[in-house]
């Protein structure tokens, strides 16, 4: 019987790698602006300080900075919660080389921000741009009629912006676009912060003219953010804005913000500030003294504010922390830190009234003594605490990776504490809303 001839089996050629290399060559040839993420570090390298360690951390997982360079950051609140002061405080960060404030009305408000940030000193690195609409427009000098124009209709020669019959006025979108291009084309390597306080003061041209808006203002918001979402990152320009909130007749979601969802959607970081009486940073004696001061002519300049991260591209969405805000000097740096470390399990109870941080201190302490002990060696201790928080982050991530659910009822059981809950205390209604948003997106 003839025997079958045995054939030698050879290993398959690495065709996948070769095919990928061919595709890569084509892409690089056709798209010269394509980014290879294996060769370029796209992570945020510079974070600007909010003035509060705990606030910094819930925004960025970094005790030393809250606001990412080259991105869009929004802060919203009802009146009196300190959003303007938080913008003014970041102006003090020594990493920032240049500050541009968009002055929307009057001028006094911008002066107050500068005085607050620099304690009355006149800074050399702050400039003001005046504007009241996103779009550009022209004013008829004969009848004062206001009409929106396209930005390309603005002559390059500014001397031609005014004639005997018309006055041309440049909108914010055009001004920032020109500024951004000038920074990029001249290869200016400076950290620039642009502050708009407040978004709610900006009108549509129709609104400025006194005619029905017909949704134009909302379209302007969307157009503005689409123009600059990626452009800021290329020029190291950081755009920070405040936004007004107002009430609406909706029992499930009673608050709305100027511009609808567009400012939130296009921000890399969006924070809500709310007034609260919750704090772990005041002793009973201090609380009593504060109440007594409110009865005097001096009044009280201290308020406890809760910051909640409503939108984040840095893995910190819906984190929140209470902190103290002194309206005469700014946010209190150590406020909220005890709460943060307790929530993350870095600070542990050793008895009914004493606490420990075993990785840092070999002694127990009372809550009222925590801040004073940290301040004795602040720089060294904050770095150690940062390391402990990152370790705890990884532990929490591992715990959450084990969660498996079959339906919404099981999710609610976990969230409301009927089963083991690695999520912590989260409102089930809010969690459901988050899930719906994710499905819709």
Give 72-107 pLDDT, tens digit per residue.
999 999 888 899 999 999 999 999 999 999 988 655
For 280, residues 6+ apart whose C-beta sits below 8 A from its C-beta are 322, 336, 338, 339, 342, 367
**Structure token pair of residue 253:** 């979601």
pLDDT tens, position by position, 121-165: 778 889 988 888 999 999 999 999 999 999 989 998 989 999 999
The length of the chain is 441
DSSP string, 86-122: HHHHHTT-TT--EEEEEE-SSSHHHHHHHHHHHTT--
**Structure token pair of residue 263:** 């400012």
The region, left, alpha or beta by phi > 0 then psi within -120 to 50, assigned to residue 189 is beta
Quote the pLDDT of residue 419.
54
Handedness of CA 179, 182, 185, 189 (dihedral sign): negative
Q: Return the residue matching tokens 């001004």.
A: 175
CA atoms within 13 A on the CB side of 149: 20
* C-alpha radius of gyration, the chain, whole number: 27
Segments of the chain with pLDDT less than 50: 421-428, 431, 435-436, 438-441
For 298, residues 6+ apart whose C-beta sits below 8 A from its C-beta are none
Domains and their CATH numbers in the chain: 40-135+172-287+301-333 (3.40.50.300), 139-170 (no CATH)
CB 184 within 8 A of CB 235: yes
First to last CA, the chain: 69
CB 82 within 8 A of CB 250: no
**Structure token pair of residue 250:** 């909706």
Quote the pLDDT of residue 41.
58
Query: What is the signed CA dihedral for 409, 413, 414, 418, rounded to 10 degrees?
Result: -160
Q: What is the enclosing helix (H) or strand (E) of 302?
A: strand 302-312
**Cβ count near 232 (within 10 Å):** 22
Do you find a cis peptide bond into 32, omega within 30 degrees of 0? no
SS3 (DSSP) at 234:
helix
Alpha-carbon distance 354 to 352, whole Å?
A: 6
DSSP state at residue 4: P
Alpha-carbon distance 231 to 71, whole Å?
A: 9
Nearest to 359 by CA among 394, 322, 385: 385
CB 50 within 8 A of CB 90: yes
CA atoms within 13 A on the CB side of 391: 10
Nearest to 129 by CA among 92, 98, 156, 83: 98
């Amino acid at each position: 019987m003839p025997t079958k001839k045995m054939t030698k089996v050879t290993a398959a050629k690495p065709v996948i790698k070769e095919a990928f290399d061919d595709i890569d060559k084509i892409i690089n040839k056709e798209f010269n602006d394509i980014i290879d993420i294996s060769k370029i570090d796209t992570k945020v390298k510079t974070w600007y300080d909010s003035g509060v360690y705990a606030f910094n951390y819930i925004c960025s997982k970094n005790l030393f900075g809250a606001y990412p360079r080259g991105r869009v950051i929004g802060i919203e609140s009802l009146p009196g919660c300190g959003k303007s002061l938080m913008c003014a405080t970041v102006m003090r960060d020594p990493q920032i080389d240049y500050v541009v404030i968009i002055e929307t009305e009057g001028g006094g408000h911008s002066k107050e921000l500068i005085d607050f940030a620099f304690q009355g000193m006149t800074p050399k690195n702050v400039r003001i741009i005046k504007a009241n609409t996103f779009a550009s427009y022209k004013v008829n000098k004969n009848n004062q009629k206001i009409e929106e124009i396209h930005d390309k209709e603005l002559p390059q020669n500014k001397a031609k912006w005014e004639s005997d019959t018309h006055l041309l006025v440049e909108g914010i979108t055009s001004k920032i676009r020109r500024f951004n291009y000038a920074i990029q084309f001249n290869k200016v390597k400076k950290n620039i912060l642009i502050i708009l306080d407040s978004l709610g003061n900006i009108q549509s041209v129709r609104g400025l003219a006194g005619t029905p808006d017909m949704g134009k203002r909302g379209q302007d918001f969307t157009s503005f953010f689409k123009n600059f979402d990626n452009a800021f990152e290329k020029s190291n320009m950081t755009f920070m804005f405040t936004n007004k909130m107002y009430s609406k007749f909706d029992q499930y979601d009673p608050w709305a913000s100027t511009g609808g969802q567009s400012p939130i959607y296009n921000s890399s970081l969006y924070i809500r500030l709310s007034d609260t009486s919750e704090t772990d940073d005041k002793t009973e004696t201090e609380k009593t003294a504060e109440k007594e001061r409110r009865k005097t002519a001096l009044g009280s300049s201290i308020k406890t504010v809760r910051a909640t991260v409503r939108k984040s591209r840095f893995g910190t969405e819906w984190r929140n922390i209470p902190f103290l805000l002194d309206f005469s000097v700014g946010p209190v740096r150590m406020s909220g830190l005890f709460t943060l470390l307790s929530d993350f399990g870095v600070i542990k109870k050793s008895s009914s009234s004493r606490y420990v941080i075993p990785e840092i201190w070999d002694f127990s302490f009372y809550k009222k003594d925590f801040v004073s002990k940290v301040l004795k060696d602040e720089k060294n201790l904050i770095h150690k605490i940062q390391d402990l928080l990152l370790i705890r982050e990884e532990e929490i991530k591992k715990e959450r990776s084990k969660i498996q659910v079959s339906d919404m009822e099981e999710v609610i059981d976990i969230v409301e504490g009927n089963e083991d809950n690695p999520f912590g205390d989260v409102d089930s209604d809010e969690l459901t809303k988050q899930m719906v948003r994710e499905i819709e997106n």
